[in-house]
Amino acid sequence: MSSFHRHFRRHDPTLHGVVRLIGPYTLKPQRNRFGMLVRSIISQQISTAAARTIRERLERLLGDAGLAPAAIASLTPDELRSVGLSKQKRAYISDLAHKVAEGTVPLARMGRLSDEQVIETLTQVKGIGRWTAQMFLIFSLDRQDVFPVDDLGVRVAMAKLYDLGEKPSKEELHEIGRRWSPFATVGSWYCWRYLEHQRQK
């Protein structure tokens, strides 16, 4: 039995039940850190399907260069517009590419920083807030104790699992999230998978 299995069984039987329902924890970190941030910006405030369409168009436009700062920086505003990016998101992605290229956001060295230092560094970029930075910690740096309290999926799953009503307070959510530490990322991942399981039912 894994360490998080034992931890949840002892500290949060409700979540332990979800772990047993869903099965193994299979999160694998994304190695292209810049690409992960670009995809996060694209996904803001639009449907998953729309975000996928825009991302695929952008990747086709970039070709073999791929999602890299220099490749993004080489595109004109018209080219970025042609894939479906709004004016605001074009500015965000361009600002990210610029700050990575100049070293303000040192993606290669981010693994050496604490969670809060990563968040502080990334939120210097236009359009990147705490939630996007936390997704980077989870999906790129594989940090195990991140609790994204502002994530809609996590909030909805927790409201259902812990019978918190439709709009649980952050204080209620944090109280539960503290039980998950030092495996808050794992708990959040199982919340997302729980919602998928419920939809499939």
Same domain as 37, residue 135: yes
Structure confidence at residue 65 (pLDDT): 85
Please report, as a single letter, which amino acid is at residue 43. S
pTM for this prediction:
0.89
Block mean pLDDT (10 aa), the chain, length 201: 90 96 94 93 86 94 90 90 94 94 94 97 96 95 96 93 91 96 97 92 75
Same domain as 40, residue 15: no
Decide if 69 contacts 100 (C-beta within 8 A): yes
Same domain as 71, residue 39: yes
Same domain as 106, residue 58: yes
Of 139, 156, 182, which closes a domain? 139
160's tokens: 């259902």
- The DSSP annotation for 126-177 comes to TT--HHHHHHHHHHTS--S----TT-HHHHHHHHHHTT--SS--HHHHHHHH
Query: Among the options 12, 145, 151, 163, which is catalytic?
Result: 151
Same domain as 160, residue 72: no
Same domain as 38, residue 107: yes
Name the region of 103 (left: φ>0; alpha: ψ -120 to 50; beta: rest): left
Task: Note the Cα 186 to chain centre separation in Å.
Answer: 13
Could you confirm whether 115 is annotated as catalytic?
Answer: no
Same domain as 108, residue 61: yes
Structure confidence at residue 12 (pLDDT): 96
Decide if 93 contacts 74 (C-beta within 8 A): no
Domain that holds residue 157: 3-27+147-200
Q: What angle do CA 153, 159, 163 make, to 5 degrees?
A: 160
Same domain as 11, residue 78: no
Number of domains in the chain: 2
Q: State the CATH number of the domain containing residue 23.
A: 1.10.1670.40
Determine if the peptide bond prior to 148 is cis (ω within 30°).
no
Same domain as 75, residue 53: yes
Of 116, 139, 162, which closes a domain? 139
Structure confidence at residue 1 (pLDDT): 65
Of 120, 139, 158, which closes a domain? 139
CA distance 97 to 104: 10
Structure confidence at residue 48 (pLDDT): 80
Decide if 88 contacts 59 (C-beta within 8 A): no
Same domain as 127, residue 103: yes
Structure confidence at residue 14 (pLDDT): 96
Q: State the CATH number of the domain containing residue 66.
A: 1.10.340.30
Q: Which of 139, 130, 109 is nearest to 29 (CA)?
A: 139
Same domain as 101, residue 9: no
Same domain as 134, residue 66: yes
Decide if 126 contacts 94 (C-beta within 8 A): no
